Amino acid sequence: MAMTWVAVAAFVLVGILTEFVRRLAVRLALTDRPGMRKSHERPTPYLGGVVIAVGVIVPTVAALSGAEAHLRILLVAATAVALLGLVDDLRPLSPYPRLAVEGVAAAAVVGAGGHVKIFGNWLDYVLPALWIVVITNSFNLLDNMDGAAAGVACVTGASLALPATMVGQRGVSVLLVALACGCAGFLPHNWTPARIFMGDAGSLFIGFVISASALFVFARSDDTGVAGPLMVTFVATVDTCVVLVSRHRAGRPLMLGGTDHVSHRLRRLGLSTGQVALALSGAAAVTCLAVLPVLWDWVPAPVPLAVATGLGGVFVWLLLKVPVYAKHDERLRTT
């Protein structure tokens, strides 16, 4: 019953409040303006992520007032990351304070039990914290086209909630359902042509919740501790790999913003903006659900992990062949 209530509350809260925040952002001139390094064509307000964070956290806290300590820590850390993103939306920060806050939030999650059991030493704690930071920023990078990040987050949250329930992480499951439904409530406003963007407050919050939740869900054994988190973040990971490799090969700054993501390459191959969002969401659904046979002990974890890694490598190789850089780029933007 709590799960249903949280799902409905998150969907309705985000769906209704997004329009109010959109009008407020327009009134305050908090808009993302078109540019050479951006794919949208008109000024668009970008505070939608604040609504997503509120619409997810408030129902979850209300439904789980007596939640376990690790879930309370996760919610506090996610809130801190969302606030960090809001500050960055209002006044862009340098990478160092961003990474510092994300690192502290990730360390709190790891200290609360979100770590792996592979090496038997300090690496079991350090690597998960670094991974949370990487995936948090990977979802930030993924938010580059109408409906892309929200669609992937909606599918991932819903898909990850099932294994969370299976391993007894009920509180995390409720949080993931709230995330999925909150993003579903945001999608009508963010679907092409988007009337509002989520901004860093939303993309960082989503990436943090998904990566931290995945560690709590899959940290029960050596095999799933590696396979599970990597597979449920497959789309964001591939996108980050494509961007970093292509920018390195082109001799461009790694933190340079641009239309060189997976979504932009799929557009160049002929897909519409809506089709790109659906394709990325579909890929996320497949890789997330592929974890279930591992949890049911139908197949050993290395099998789907090896398949996903191989396919990921092939996708990166193929997507790198799609031309995205002009010969002369004069207008550059730091993300």
Residue 44 backbone dihedrals phi, psi, to 5 degrees: -135, 130
Residues 58, 28 contacting (CB under 8 angstroms) = no
Please give the span between the terminal C-alpha atoms of the chain, in angstroms, as a whole number: 42
Residue 140 counted as an annotated binding residue? yes
Residue 14 has phi, psi (to 5 degrees) of: -65, -45
Q: In angstroms, how far is CA 263 from the centroid of its own chain?
A: 15
Cα–chain-centroid distance for residue 192?
A: 19
Instruction: Answer yes or no: is 146 a known binding residue.
Output: no
Whether the CB-CB separation of 58 and 4 falls below 8 Å is answered with no
Q: How many CB atoms lie within 10 A of CB 86?
A: 20
Phi-psi region of 271 (alpha: psi -120 to 50; beta: other; left: phi over 0): beta
Closest by alpha carbon to 81, among 49, 125, 113? 49
Binding residue positions: 140, 200
Binding residue positions for Mg(2+): 140, 200
